[in-house]
A and B are shown apart, each in its own frame.
Chain A
Amino acid sequence: MTLAAKQRLVVAVLAVLAVWPIAHRALVVHARIDPWRFFGWAMYCTPKLPVTVEARASYGRARVPLVTGSLPPPLQRAIYRFSHRRAQWGTFERPDRLAARLLADQRDADAIEILVRHWYLDAPTATIKEARYTYRYGRDGMP
């Protein structure tokens, strides 16, 4: 590889690194990816706050909250894994597989509803706020 080719390669990589934070910011705003990850240099801009996951089973018109601690251990681990991955990947990580497992566990339920809450530090008010995302999965498998 010639020196000129190496220079071009290095400049191209640096150019990508120089503009990537703009895309990173957009992804944080719109998809809620982890601001501390993915090389956007937004560490120490906002605190790492939890992503919580709640599941409910629908039986006719009744909605019953599924307490994570009372679910079988593999499902508890699946919820923990989803919440961990969701905190990193934001809305790119959908709870489809988790919902399928919950539906399999709750055999009599018509549908499963998964509520995902992303906590964040709201800059203007300096208080903790949350963004809520609700996913509903019926027996037909359609969200």
Chain B
Amino acid sequence: MRAARLLGLTDGVASEDAQAGLARGFQLFVLLHVSARTLLWALKDDDHLALRLMLPAGLALCFLVAARRPAWARRATLAALLLLSTKLFASFPGTSNHFFIEYCCVALLTLCDLRDAGERALALNAARWLMLIVLFWSGVQKVLYGTYFNAAFLGFSVAHKPSFAAVFAWLLPAEELARLQGLRATAVGSGPFAINAPLARLVANGAYLFEIVAPCLLLWRRTRVWAVLATIGFLVCIEAGARELMFGALFVNLLLLFLPRPVNRVLLPGFAAFYAVLIATRLGLLPKFQFN
């Protein structure tokens, strides 16, 4: 009972129908997401390409089965979990944290039968909690590492990543931007990468504060919808520099689970189109740009 009450803290004000819509939208999104991301991963290298492409092909089949035959959706997620387990086995210890979130989501959707109201609520609440844990710890870790107080990590990123420099060009005086872009971590003693511009420091310190506070606002029902919108805005700003677009899409979908209506289901075709653009970019059919 205590476990149920704890999990229920993230329960939405959604009706049964809306819950069913949210869960179904999430199920389809997760299978679509792992298919697209695994395809992008497979296309990164040329070695054993045919073998590597079998994994996203299998995952895409799982997505199609789940989409066309809702009664078989849970079996499809089980198959996807087994396929992803091979990737986990092959990639560990280099496994990305992003993959771990995907893996947990697929495992949840396999554990819970979404046709049952109780299990559906369990799956949705667990996915919401997973998102809260990740967001909260992302903020706390930034505090523990101490590299955001003086914006040293962001300064380092400006120095080494053009996408960060493009974003911070809006926040930094031209001289400081030029100084940071002239720095390289080529030897011990390189730096200093700290940013002195007050606006950039405000952004750096605001980032971890937001990540720590937002989970509390997402838990509190009165602030939940606004917190969802604010966190999506926050993510868009982060991804402008970090370009972790696949992670951003997954995280936005986890956030959408906090809404009282199944907006995620409405947006699913939009995410499918977004992934199609990313895949076309990776294949060279559209102008290339750096993203993960």
Contacts and interface: CB of A to CB of B under 8 A. Distances in A.
A19 B191 CA distance: 34
Interface stretch (B150-158, B256-264, B271-279): B150-158
A14 B145 contact: no
A37 B152 CA distance: 21
B188 A37 contact: no
B287 interface: no
A13 to B, nearest CB: 8
A132 to B, nearest CB: 10
Given A41-B134, A121-B153, A6 B112 contact: yes
Contact of A10 (B111, B142, B192, B242): B111
Chain B interface, >50% SS class:
helix
A135 interface: no
Contacts of A49: 185
B290 interface: no
A142 interface: no
Interface stretch (A64-72, A75-83, A99-107, A123-131): A123-131
Interface string A6-38: 111111011001100100010000000011111
Contacts of A138: none
Q: Name, among B3, B96, B189, the residue most crowded by chain A CB atoms within 10 Å (CB to CB).
A: B3
A127 B192 contact: yes
A53 interface: no
Given A17-B133, A127-B190, A88 B185 contact: no
Nearest to B129: A14
Interface residues of B, number: 51
Contacts of A44: 138, 142, 153, 157, 242
Name the residue among A6, A8, A38 with the largest chain B CB count within 10 angstroms: A6
A46 B147 contact: yes
Nearest to A34: B93
B168 interface: no
B149 A123 contact: yes
B195 to A, nearest CB: 9
A14 to B, nearest CB: 5
B20 to A, nearest CB: 17
B284 interface: no
Nearest to B117: A3
Nearest to B111: A6
A46 B145 contact: yes
Contacts of A7: 3-4, 7, 122
Interface of B: 3-4, 6-7, 93-97, 100, 104, 108, 111-112, 116, 118-119, 122, 126, 129-130, 133-134, 137-138, 140-142, 144-150, 152-153, 155-157, 160, 185, 187-194, 242
13 contacts: A3-B116, A6-B111, A6-B119, A9-B111, A10-B126, A21-B141, A41-B134, A43-B97, A45-B145, A45-B147, A45-B153, A124-B146, A126-B155
